[in-house]
């Protein structure tokens, strides 16, 4: 069973819990099997008139003792085996999270959050049930069925055969319904994933929904999905609903047969009253395993399907991997070269970057300008190897980027992405995100360079103010400046700013750039911007257009050239004049 390979390791890890649990379970079963025997002896003594109060006292005492034993041992098997299944769930959940964390960025572009949530909730639950209660139940069912059948046969084997005639129908019902139950359960899960997807998107997009007055249509969409979820659940319930009465019907036939045939034997004095009562009791015990088989089949099928889905994630290898003996660049110089690079996000898609060749010498500050969608952000992302490029097209300090050790390399790069992301933590924790060991003084110094210090000290709790959902709402420009401070604190050898000033006013931007010029004098800086004022002092400016490098040179050279750059410059000057 390939699906269960993953699980085997964990079952083995907690084997002693299972061994101890099974031992306790055997005790419970043993006690339970003895109780009808005592009842039988008591009833026989009563009907033959040999019973006195001392004897009854003794029997009652036994039963009480056994019942106590059943209670105590039941606690322990549950504690150990259910406990082990919870531990397995814990391990699997950690592994699930860690596997996701190790995936490349591309993986999350392709995977829906709702699907991942369903895996982490429903599927993990199903596996836990299988690893715990289903294993116990199959062990228990097998043992109890065998033992109670032996007991029944010992009491009256002919009657045993009679009452067992309806039993195959139990299995038949279960087999027929098991598949249906399983299929419908799958549909319920799929529907739930779509529902959570919707809810999540609503919560994160609530501002847009409000601004565009889309509450009603959003709710309508949610209702449709919620109704689908309910309908799917109702279909499941319908099957469950038919399942129980059918089982009850077959069980009723079994007991009817005992009453009819066994009662006859009692009347004819072929069977004692005690035997009759004990027989009924053992039949009761034998029925549960037969039902359990169906139930176990279900748990097992669900667990198997869920385990299969989880395995897909577990076996997912990150797209971006290091080579056998990667080159450790420590320290990184910051020399970058692109050689005839073509890049596309999807193999069959049109390339986003085409025939890019450029050199950025260590310590230089270069700027990249170009229209939205021309490929600027993509160019920066591949420099961090968030996506893979063809061999021999991108070199860092003279080494192909695909041969580098990723962690030490990325640690020396400070990247402020175009979409700023802050965590629901304090301001200082957000600044220290990439360098948790940095001192507060250092963090504050970086905040000053990023021109966010004056804002932060006006927050209710200064640098300890929470940001995000649980704290202050920051403006786009404030977020961007915190993100810049975060990148600076890493003391990067290569600083990449992807349109990091888009929400910052020109005056503040000027100050930040001045601070950077000092603080980042020795590092390689790459600045993407759509503002000429931001880029004009760069050592070199590259103009990207539709994935190509259209122009390159210094500010003056590009103005001289009279191309795209000169055109942008002219328009921005005009805008400024109109605004002033
Ligand atoms: N993760 C992605 N998957 C597929 N295509 C993408 C992805 N990110 C960007 N693109 C596409 O690549 C092109 C360049 O985008 P981008 O590099 O973000 O441009 P810019 O930063 O210059 O605005 C666009 O056509 C965009 O749709
Ligand atoms: Mg961009």
Going by alpha carbons, the residue nearest to atom 7 of ligand 1 is 345
- Rounded to the nearest whole angstrom, what is the distance from the C-alpha of residue 564 to the centroid of ligand 1? 20
Ordered by start, the domain boundaries in the chain are: 2-314, 326-412+496-509+527-580, 419-491
Q: Mean pLDDT across the stretch 307-324?
A: 91
How far apart CA 270 and CA 262 sit, in angstroms, is 9
pLDDT greater than 80 at residue 471: no
At 88-121, the pLDDT tens digits run: 999 999 999 999 999 999 899 888 887 888 899 8
How far apart CA 121 and CA 192 sit, in angstroms, is 11
Task: DSSP letter for 398, please.
Answer: T
pLDDT over 70 for what percent of the chain?
99
Same fold, 326-412+496-509+527-580 and 419-491: yes
Number of H helices, E strands in the chain: 23, 10
Residue 397 · residue 334 · CB < 8 Å: yes
Determine whether the shortest distance from the Cβ of 370 to ligand 1 is under 6 A. yes
The CA-atom distances, in angstroms, between 239 and each of 181, 247, 306, 392 are 7, 12, 21, 60
Q: What is the CA radius of gyration of the chain?
A: 36
At 437-464, the pLDDT tens digits run: 999 999 999 999 999 999 999 998 999 9
pLDDT greater than 90 at residue 517: no
The CA-atom distances, in angstroms, between 62 and each of 59, 205, 225, 276, 403 are 5, 66, 57, 20, 75
Unique residue bearing structure tokens 């699930």: 96
Determine whether the shortest distance from the Cβ of 108 to ligand 1 is under 6 A. no
pLDDT greater than 70 at residue 1: no
**Tokens standing for residue 510:** 């000027």
Q: Mean pLDDT across the stretch 530-542?
A: 91
Closest CA relative to residue 80, chosen from 130, 12, 16: 16
Which helix (H) or strand (E) is 248 found in, with range?
helix 215-257
How far apart CA 571 and CA 163 sit, in angstroms, is 94
pLDDT greater than 70 at residue 391: yes
Residue 24 · residue 80 · CB < 8 Å: yes
Q: Mean pLDDT across the stretch 523-547?
A: 93
How far apart CA 290 and CA 174 sit, in angstroms, is 9
Q: What are phi and psi of 386, to 5 degrees?
A: -75, -25
Determine whether the shortest distance from the Cβ of 378 to ligand 1 is under 6 A. yes
pLDDT greater than 70 at residue 533: yes
pLDDT greater than 90 at residue 173: no
**CATH 3.40.50.2000, domain 419-491, yes or no:** no
- Rounded to the nearest whole angstrom, what is the distance from the C-alpha of residue 417 to the centroid of ligand 2? 8
Cis check for the bond before 548: say yes or no (omega within 30 of 0).
no
Ligand in nearest proximity to the CA of 378: 1
- Domain 2-314 superfamily per CATH: ABC transporter type 1, transmembrane domain (1.20.1560.10)
pLDDT of the residue at 401: 96
pLDDT greater than 70 at residue 340: yes
Strand order, beta sheet including 394-396: 353-360, 336-343, 394-396, 399-400
Ligand in nearest proximity to the CA of 345: 1
Ligand in nearest proximity to the CA of 376: 1
* Positive/negative CA dihedral, 49, 53, 55, 60: positive
Unique residue bearing structure tokens 């601004």: 211
The CA-atom distances, in angstroms, between 324 and each of 291, 403, 561 are 54, 9, 47
Determine whether the shortest distance from the Cβ of 514 to ligand 1 is under 6 A. no
Least confident of 80-84, 168-172, 341-345: 168-172
At 14-64, the pLDDT tens digits run: 999 999 999 999 999 999 899 999 999 999 999 888 888 899 999 999 999
At 199-208, the pLDDT tens digits run: 988 998 999 9
**Tokens standing for residue 359:** 């050199």
Instruction: Give 176 or 577, the one with higher predicted confidence.
Output: 577
- Rounded to the nearest whole angstrom, what is the distance from the C-alpha of residue 372 to the centroid of ligand 2? 6
pLDDT greater than 70 at residue 470: no
Residues 6 or more apart whose CB falls under 8 angstroms from that of 173 comprise: 243, 246, 247, 250, 294
* Positive/negative CA dihedral, 203, 209, 211, 216: negative
Residue 183 · residue 100 · CB < 8 Å: no
Determine whether the shortest distance from the Cβ of 352 to ligand 1 is under 6 A. yes
At 61-94, the pLDDT tens digits run: 999 999 999 999 999 999 999 999 999 999 999 9
Give, for ligand 1, the residue of 342, 368, 378 to mutate: max count of ligand atoms closer than 8 Å to Cβ. 378
pLDDT of the residue at 2: 73
At 178-193, the pLDDT tens digits run: 778 878 888 998 898 8
CATH of region 326-412+496-509+527-580? 3.40.50.300
Going by alpha carbons, the residue nearest to atom 20 of ligand 1 is 373
């Amino acid at each position: 069973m390939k699906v269960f390979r993953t699980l085997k390791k964990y079952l083995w890890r907690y084997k002693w819990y299972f061994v101890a649990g099974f031992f306790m379970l055997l005790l419970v079963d043993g006690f339970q099997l003895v109780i009808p025997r005592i009842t039988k002896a008591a009833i026989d003594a009563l009907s033959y008139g040999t019973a006195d109060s001392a004897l009854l006292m003794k029997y009652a005492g036994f039963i009480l003792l056994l019942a106590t034993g059943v209670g105590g041992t039941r606690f322990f098997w549950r504690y150990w085996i259910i406990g082990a299944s919870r531990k397995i769930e814990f391990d699997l959940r950690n592994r699930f999270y860690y596997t996701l964390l190790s995936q490349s960025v591309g993986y999350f572009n392709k995977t829906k959050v709702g699907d991942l949530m369903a895996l982490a909730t429903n599927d993990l639950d199903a596996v836990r049930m299988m690893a715990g209660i289903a294993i116990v139940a199959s062990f228990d069912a097998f043992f109890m069925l065998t033992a109670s059948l032996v007991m029944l046969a010992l009491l009256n084997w002919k009657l045993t055969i009679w009452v067992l005639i309806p039993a195959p129908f139990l299995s038949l019902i279960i087999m027929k319904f098991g598949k249906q139950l399983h299929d419908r359960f799958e549909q319920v899960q799929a529907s739930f994933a779509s529902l959570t997807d919707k809810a999540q998107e609503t919560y994160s997009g609530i501002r847009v929904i409000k601004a565009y007055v889309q509450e009603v249509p959003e709710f309508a969409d949610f209702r449709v999905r919620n109704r689908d979820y309910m309908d799917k659940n109702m279909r499941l319930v319908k099957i469950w609903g038919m399942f129980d009465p059918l089982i009850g019907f077959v069980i009723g036939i079994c007991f009817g047969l005992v009453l009819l045939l066994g009662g006859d034997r009692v009347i004819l004095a072929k069977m004692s009253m005690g035997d009759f009562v004990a027989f009924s009791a053992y039949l009761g015990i034998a029925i549960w395993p037969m039902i359990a088989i169906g139930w176990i089949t279900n748990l097992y099928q669900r667990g198997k399907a869920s385990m299969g889905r989880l395995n897909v994630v577990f076996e997912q290898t990150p797209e971006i991997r290091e080579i056998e003996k990667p080159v450790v660049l420590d320290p990184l110089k910051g020399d970058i070269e692109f050689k005839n690079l073509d890049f596309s996000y999807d193999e069959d898609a049109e390339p986003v970057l085409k025939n890019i060749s450029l050199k950025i010498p260590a310590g230089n500050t270069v700027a990249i300008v170009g229209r939205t969608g021309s490929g600027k952000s993509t160019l920066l992302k591949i420099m961090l190897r968030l996506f893979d490029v063809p061999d021999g097209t991108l070199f860092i300090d003279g080494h192909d980027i695909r041969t580098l050790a990723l962690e030490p390399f990325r640690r020396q790069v400070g990247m402020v992405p175009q979409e700023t992301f802050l965590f629901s933590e304090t301001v200082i924790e957000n600044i220290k995100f990439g360098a948790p060991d940095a001192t507060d003084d250092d963090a504050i110094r970086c905040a000053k360079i990023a021109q966010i210090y004056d804002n932060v000290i006006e927050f209710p709790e200064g640098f300890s103010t929470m940001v995000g959902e649980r704290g202050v709402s920051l403006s786009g420009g404030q977020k961007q400046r915190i993100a810049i401070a975060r990148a600076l604190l890493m003391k990067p050898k290569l600083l990449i700013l992807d349109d990091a000033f888009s929400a910052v006013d020109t005056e503040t931007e000027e100050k930040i750039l001045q601070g950077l010029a000092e603080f980042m004098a020795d590092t390689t800086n790459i600045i993407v911007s759509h503002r000429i004022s931001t880029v004009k002092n760069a050592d070199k400016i590259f103009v990207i257009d539709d994935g190509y490098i259209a122009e390159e040179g210094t500010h003056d050279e590009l103005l001289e050239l009279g191309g795209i750059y000169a055109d942008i410059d002219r328009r921005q000057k005009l805008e400024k004049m109109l605004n002033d």
